[in-house]
Amino acid sequence: MGSILISRSLARALLASVALLTASVLLAGCDTDQVSLATNAKANQPVPPKLLAAMVEKDMDLQSPILVRLFKQEAELEVWKQTRNGQFALLKTYPICRWSGDLGPKVREGDRQAPEGFYSINPGQMNPQSAYYLSFNTGYPNAFDKALGRSGSQLMVHGDCSSRGCYAMTDEQIAEIYSLGRESFFGGQKAFQLQAYPFKMTPVNMAKHRNNPNMPFWKMIKEGYDHFEVTRQEPKVDFCEKKYVFDAAKTPDAKRDPVFDASAKCPAYVIPEDIASAVREKDARDQAEYAKLVAKGTPVARMNTGIDGGMNKIFAAKIPEGSTGLSEGAEGTTLQMLAMAKAPGTIPGHVNPPRPNLDAAAPSPQEEPVVAVSAPATSTRVAAAQPAEKSQEKSQEKSQSGGFFSNLGRKMGLGTADTTATASAPPPQATASVAPATTSTTPPSAASRLKAAVTRFVPGRDTTKDAPKPAVAAAKPAEPAKPDTRLAATRPALKPTVSDDPAGGPQMAGAAPVVQSNSFDSRFGAVK
């Protein structure tokens, strides 16, 4: 009897398991993609309140469709969202933390190129279990890429700010972007469009890159760019004869929609006249502006064969020796100006900025240097920089020959013109043009320098009588042309493309010496 009861219990358990499995399979068949979108806490993060407020302000629903645009040169990712009137509006622009390769499409596996073109992202391409926090697959290669024999796999938009052919964001950024995609899928969007461009397809950029061998491809995808610009609707994308076709519709006499094959001859199709006319007008304006720019000699952007991609300026400003690669920021901004800005997300410690292209020619005249800023002209005598070993030898020789009082006076800022450790003596003609005619060329003694240092701090005493005139006159705070070395010692180090070597590497002319934090100058800089 007992064995019969056990058998019945096992049978009921098996039947229950089968029923549950069948139900889960049926549910999965209807909603497999949505179930896989949010399998952990990272993928379940809600849309931030600020974005929700922006949606309310722009008349958007939380679960309305989205569209994403990527721009390499500007290192920006845009998320567009459909408003209640049916058109798309820009919701938010994210600075890209890192992208790899060069301007131009991806061609083969392992070329480290981030793809360019039009791609479709469905729920199955969303990866909540990504090794790079969260990610979604771009869908490369699409039918156009395959028709040209292009290869590559697992090209993602992901977090972790590290790229080998992908578009990398910070973890916080990809969490927001992922949540926006997830909600659009929950709202019924079957797939959102990803448009990846080398740069914003403006007449200026097209003129700058007019000699690039990728220009025929860029002109082709610019048509899709223009379709979106004039309609603010997601353009319908098809492929035939190894080219893109946008917003194709059946001819008036056709009974069914045209069937496209990327490698086959294009079928008969038309583009709706309202879209076609708007695109033609925009293209005519762009072409006229382009012709003006070329006619006036807009410089051509140099080729950057073998470069290592780029990153947005706001991230490069936070990374030691940061380089932006090809990315461009707002007019007039520099890495120093952006260094105080808050980065949109946590930058991991293993991020490497784009490597400088050592084989490239010098920047074109129109290109503003990313970091290197020329020093303003002053009347102060600034010696030319010496090699590090000579500068150190010279400093050691002076410290050995000057004695205690000489060293003390020099540390208190009362030395002769050679107070910068890495500066060499100025040429005779420069000395003659600056020094007063009646000034003796004999350097003051160590005793006179020490006396000047002591009397300088006695209240009520006139220190100008006893001060060594040749040295102190050039170092008076009241002299407007004298660089303030006290401030220079406390400012954070700049991040030029040429690295500053704290071990004694060469400095640029006019650069302030590197002062250690525990040095005499740093402790007593306030009383100079």
Residue of 158, 161, 227, 240 marked catalytic: 158
The overall longest dimension of the chain from CA atoms, in Å, is 126
* Phi–psi pair at 197, nearest 5 degrees: -125, 155
Query: Is residue 150 within 8 Å of 156, Cβ to Cβ?
Result: no
DSSP letter at 125 equals G
Q: Residue 370: which of 317, 337, 334, 320 has the closest Cα?
A: 334
> Which residue type occupies 51?
L
Residue 91's H or E segment, with its range, is: strand 88-95
Annotate 354-421 with DSSP letters as a single string: PPP-TTS-PPPTTSPPSS--PPPP-SS--PPBPPHHHHHHHHHHHHHHHHHHHHHHHHTT---S--ST
Known catalytic residue: 166? yes
**CA–CA gap between residue 143 and residue 153 (Å, rounded):** 14
Residue of 161, 166, 227, 240 marked catalytic: 166
Respond yes or no on whether the N-terminal peptide bond of residue 141 is cis (omega within 30° of 0).
yes
Known catalytic residue: 227? no
Would you name the residues annotated as active-site residues?
158, 166
